[in-house]
Each structure stands twice: as structure tokens, then as C-alpha cells.
Amino acid sequence: MRYNSLILFLMLSFYTSAQNPLSSSTDIALGRSIHGTGDLAGYYLGFQFDTPITSILYWSLGIEATLNDAPDLPLFYEEPNGNIQNGTLHFVTNGLQLIGGVGFKFINSEKHILGVSLNPLFRYQATSISDRIGTIYPAGTGLPVPVRVIESETPYRTYSVGASLKLKYQYQLNEKWQMGLMGGVQSDTNGDTIFYYGLQIGRKYL
């Protein structure tokens, strides 16, 4: 029974793909990203070029960027002159990466495309997050304002390799234009995990 289901699935994939001629496409995606456990929310921007290998397999090449930020460790204090100052730290993590990989289309009909891809990546990242941050208040320093103590052994700029797993759905608007939804998750050797999702619009080249 299991083998019959697999054969039926493959036959359906080939049948639906046969209705859609082989064509390359470029896509641009814009959406939200979540860095780590969710404490750094932000945005995702991606540009990708896909070209077919077979009717259901394709390879892709692209460039992506993520921008994540969040305020943390709030600190408000009053100066001797009575003014209230905001000393809250704002953490920012930005990344730019090159991707390339292979995808599989479960559905490739005249109007609908549903596929998944595995994409090795090379990432450059810059962050303002430090390893240890402390606050010493006037009672401990004798100064009229609090003092922040920031220590870090981790580089603020890193290069890493990793991979992402993407799922995308596209609807064919006409012979050239398509739009849809995408989502993915990635991890790299720097220990960063990023989730992202958003809207995608693309152009086919028949």
C-alpha cells in the first residue's frame, strides 16, 4: 500500500508538471523574520533566480538580507538637573547571505506551483549584542548617573556557512507574472537560527 501511494504521488507530480512548460524565473520576496527564540523580530528581503533541471526539479541562486532589532535592558534615570534620560540599549542584528540549492515541485500546473528547496548558504552578519551587560547605580560609583558595563568575547562581525529549508506556493497570474507565499528556516555555523515568511512576486521567462 505504501509503495502504491508513492507511485501515485510521483505520477501526479509528473502529470501536473507536464501541463507547465519548462521555464526559468526570478522572484523577489518581502516578509517578516524571527532571529533566535523570537526575541529579535524584524524583516526579510530576498531575490532568487530559479531554472529547471527537469519538469519537477530546479536549481536556484539568490541573495537575501535580514534585519532584526529589539529594545532590551530598559534604563531610565533622572539627572541632577531633573531631566529624565533614556539609557535603554537597542540590540540590532543584520545579515546578508548568498544562497544556492536544489528544489522539488510537488505541484507544477498551469496555475499553481508548490515546491520545497534545500539551500546551502554563506552569511555575513553584524550584531550589537554583547555577552554580558551590567548596570552600576550611583550608590556603587558615587557618580550622579548609572554606568553601563559591557563585555564581549564574541565578535560583532561574523562569517558563517549553513543551510535553509524553504517552502513556497505560487499562483500564475498570466504567462509572465506569478505571486504567492513563502516561508523557511535556516541555521548556520555561528549558531544562529532564523525563521522567515512573506509574500513573493516573480516573473517567468518562457
Beta strands of 57-192 (E only): which ranges?
A: 57-72, 76-78, 84-86, 89-108, 112-127, 132-136, 147-151, 157-172, 177-188
On whether the CB atoms of residues 59 and 53 are closer than 8 A, the answer is yes
The tens digit of pLDDT for each residue in 98-115 reads: 999 999 999 988 889 999
Q: With 0-12 CB in 10 A as exposed, 13-18 as middle and 19+ as buried, what is 186?
A: buried
The tens digit of pLDDT for each residue in 20-46 reads: 567 889 999 999 999 987 678 999 999
Mean pLDDT of 121-149: 86
0.75 surpassed by pTM: yes
Q: Classify 153 as helix, strand or coil.
A: coil
The tens digit of pLDDT for each residue in 148-194 reads: 888 888 889 999 999 999 999 999 998 899 999 999 999 999 999 99
> Residue type for 95, please?
G
Q: Which residues contact 93 (CB under 8 A, 6 or more apart)?
A: 35, 40, 42, 66, 68, 69, 125, 126, 127, 128, 129
The rounded mean pLDDT for the chain is 86
- Rounded to a whole number of angstroms, the CA Rg of the chain reads 23
Q: What are phi and psi of 3, to 5 degrees?
A: -70, -35
Taking CB atoms within 8 Å and a gap of at least 24, the contacts of 146-150 are: 146/75, 146/77, 146/87, 148/75, 148/87, 148/89
Cell of 145: 548617573
Is the pLDDT at 13 greater than 80? The verdict is no
On whether the CB atoms of residues 73 and 130 are closer than 8 A, the answer is no
Q: What is the DSSP string of 1-35?
A: -HHHHHHHHHHHHHHHHHTS---EEEEEEEEEEEE
